[in-house]
Amino acid sequence: MAGLACFDFDWSLIDTDSDRFVIQSLSPELRRKLDTSPMQWTDLQNECLKDFYDQGGSGQVVRDALTKVPLDPDMIKACQLLHAKGWTLVIVSDANSIYIDGILQHYGIKQLFSAVITNPAFWDSQDRLHIQRLIPADAPPHGCPLGICSLNICKGQEIDKLQKQLRQQNSANKADGSTAENFAPSQRMLYVGDGRNDYCPALRMQSSQDIYFVRKGRSLEAYLEKSAPNIRDAIKARIILWTRAADILKVVQEIA
């Protein structure tokens, strides 16, 4: 039975942090700035890119860096298999739309994903890249009660919105007699993540048939192992710790 497959991006779909990878490619000095500045993370990315362009950098250097981001072939196979079996694939990430689009395009898998939920980014007329927060600083806060989501995105709430959209699309397809693949709220869900902000969306999985892929050695695993029992007990999905994409591919081959 197909379902909804959600992927975080950094250290989940890809094998690095795209923000740090790109900035390191542009300038070691700017990479050090990422580790020392108290600025909000998304704003800091935009500031580093501004510094890069002010120093004479070009947009082509940024685009070239995206082609060097590592993506495990087994992760690509897992995504292709899920898509072929009728799963709806989405990315929910605190990266940005330009980085994600460029990397997916480079590996030829952009068409596998029905939606990419992330921070918006755009190239201006001078070929400078701008990155913005998904939830702007002057907008009402998302109000997630967990207190661990980033200021600019609550992935759990974004999953809620996405599922609502899919249900509406499903209803519209039924109304007009469309034979397009329909999404049912009861379908299975899997989520691939590595960070603490990947905990909130996992609470949307309410069945032991759902699968929560948690990357070993990252902050999400440490959060789940905290002494407070309600943290891990709140997860109803089957938790699978993974190290390499081959671990995910093996499970996907069994369930898809």
Active-site annotation, residues: 8, 10
C-alpha distance from residue 52 to each of 24, 35, 64 (Å)? 11, 17, 15
176 annotated ligand-binding residue: no
Residue 87, amino acid: W
Compute the Cα dihedral for 108, 112, 118, 122 and give only its sign: positive
Find out whether 10 is annotated in a ligand binding site. yes
Torsion of CA 171, 202, 160, 97, to 10 degrees: -100
Q: Is 138 flagged in the annotation as binding?
A: no
Do the beta carbons of residue 42 and residue 119 sit within 8 Å? yes
Residues 29, 54: Cα–Cα separation, whole Å:
14
Contacting residues for 113 by C-beta, under 8 A, at least 6 apart = 79, 89, 90, 91, 104
* 127 in a known ligand binding site: no
Per DSSP, the three-state class of 190 is strand
SS3 assignment, position 10:
helix
- DSSP, res 13: I
Angstrom distance (rounded) from CA 231 to CA 228 = 6
Q: Characterize the bridge pairing of strands 3-7 and 88-96.
A: parallel
If we measure between CA atoms, which residue out of 75, 130, 18 comes closest to residue 247?
75
Give all strands (DSSP E) within 124-194, no chain letters.
Answer: 129-131, 188-193
Q: Is 194 among the annotated ligand-binding positions? A: yes
Binding site listing for Mg(2+): 8, 10, 194
Binding site listing for substrate: 19, 94
